[in-house]
Structure 1
Amino acid sequence: MGSTAPSKTPPTLYTYKESGNSYKVRLLAALLNIDLSHRELDFLNDQQHSADFLAINPRGEVPTLVDGPHIFTDSAAILTYLAGTHPDPGASNTPSSYWSSDAIEQAKIVDWLAFAASWVQYGVFTARAILSFKGPYNGLGTASTEQSLKEATIRGYKSLGILDLKLGEERWLALGRPTIADIAVFVYVALAPMGDISLEKYANVRRWIEDVKSLEGFIPIDGLEDPLYRRRG
């Protein structure tokens, strides 16, 4: 009997359980049934700036994915890599339906990845970080917390308006199906109430959040059902 080839070592994901950017990767991995080895970092005690981790990711940020010789240090890059190199569950062809091999379709997805890294990051992300984690955690640190929160709230509501308009026309953000565009934008928008940004007026956004939560393989993150869990007590 011939020997069985050893299985490929799963990629290692350096993560923090309450990091929305880390959650994006964990969510996509769950949806595509990708096996990842998780290394949880003590983010609030600054383990991400330890010498050992900085040797892997000089930015000192999570998520970080290490897959053999390949190291990816940004959630958008990780989502693109995983969706582009793995098939949908039960299928054999790559990329998965969460990505595309067509350049125009890729650009439409990347448009929303950029939205997540700018409008969402400096809007609902920052408001959540300030009110629920006691700091902006956005790498800027040039304005007072009060001013940062004010600006984040303004941008957060503008972001929700943009999304609500788009989602009133289309069920999903790109290509008429769930893609990493939805994964990238979803989490911090769904967690907006953690930063006292209400979703009440944005019916299309709320419908889309429920659609994402209904995807087969969906996993939750703390705060989706109880946005005040960190501020209680």
Structure 2
Amino acid sequence: MKLYSYPLSGHSHRVRLFLSLLGIEYSLINVDLSVKAHKDPEFLKVNPFGQLPALDDDGEVISDSLAILVYLAKKYGNTDWLPEAPAAAARVQRWLSVAAGEIRQGPASARLITVFGAKLDATDVIGRAHAILKLVEQALAGQGWLVVGTHPTLADVALYSYIASAPEGNVDLSAYPQVLAWLARVEALPGFVPFQRTAVGLFANA
């Protein structure tokens, strides 16, 4: 199994995190986003969309980080990660949609400004980040995990990377005690691998 990844990509990290939580061995292939290696013809043969990450499982190539999480959960995980019960499965899917929508448009975009120099409106994306963080804070009230109170699911894996790195984009997490406690629970899971931190934003002087 090969994972095409970049260490500063939160999309890549969520897949690396899940692979490690599952205890799956794989080869890591670095595709340098800073020099647009993801647009090189050789990589486009792997993923014509020119995006990271991409997973090659013995010739079965899966792209899109959330699709990869679902693939891995179905093939290698257990139903704790992706429940079979209709209501719980739907709740996981709802949070995967949040990861692709509000998380990408909020904390992930705020981080794009400071880490990658993206030309975005910082006030707007930081505001979006706090809007979704308030909802995550409410969802975690009284339970340990986003969907099932007793154990993590793909929802927790999908949201972790960009929430943990939100301070890099000048998004202050101090007003969200439930979120901070949840981050600590993810980081205490066997097999956890950290997301590489960049000394920018609120982490500039840390």
Equivalent pair of 1:124/1:189 in contact (CA under 8 Å): yes
Residue of structure 2 in register with 1:125 after alignment:
108
Question: How many residues of Structure 1 are paired with residues of Structure 2 in the alignment?
Answer: 204
Residue of structure 1 in register with 2:3 after alignment:
13
Select which of 172, 178, 181 maps to 1:198.
172
Equivalent pair of 1:132/1:230 in contact (CA under 8 Å): no
Post-superposition shift, 1:81?
Answer: 0.7
Equivalent pair of 1:32/1:86 in contact (CA under 8 Å): yes
If each structure's helix is expressed as a fraction of its own residues, which one has the higher value?
2
Structure 1 pair 230–217 and aligned structure 2 pair: CA distance change class (3 A) = same
Query: Which ranges in structure 2 are unaligned for 5 or more consecutive residues?
Result: none
Higher relative contact order (CA 8 A, sep 6+): 2
Q: Give me the TM-score of the superposition, normalised by structure 1.
A: 0.82
1:42 matches 2:25: no
Select which of 41, 59, 77 maps to 1:51.
41
Q: RMSD over aligned Cα, in angstroms?
A: 1.9
4+ residue runs of structure 1 moved beyond 2 angstroms? 100-105, 226-232
Q: Give me the TM-score of the superposition, normalised by structure 2.
A: 0.92
Determine what percentage of the aligned residue pairs are the same residue.
32
Query: Which ranges in structure 1 are unaligned for 5 or more consecutive residues?
Result: 1-10, 88-94, 136-144
Select which of 188, 191, 202 maps to 1:217.
191
Equivalent pair of 2:113/2:120 in contact (CA under 8 Å): no
Equivalent pair of 1:192/1:198 in contact (CA under 8 Å): yes
**Looking at CA atoms only, which structure, 1 or 2, has the larger radius of gyration?**
1
Post-superposition shift, 1:18?
Answer: 1.1
Kindly provide the amino acid, as one letter, of the partner of residue 143 in structure 2: E
Aligned counterparts of 1:221 and 1:76: Cα–Cα separation in 2: 17
Post-superposition shift, 1:108?
Answer: 1.3
Residue of structure 2 in register with 1:139 after alignment:
none
Residue of structure 2 in register with 1:150 after alignment:
123
Alignment of 1:51-130 (within 5 A): 51-87=41-77, 95-130=78-113
Kindly provide the amino acid, as one letter, of the partner of residue 171 in structure 1: G
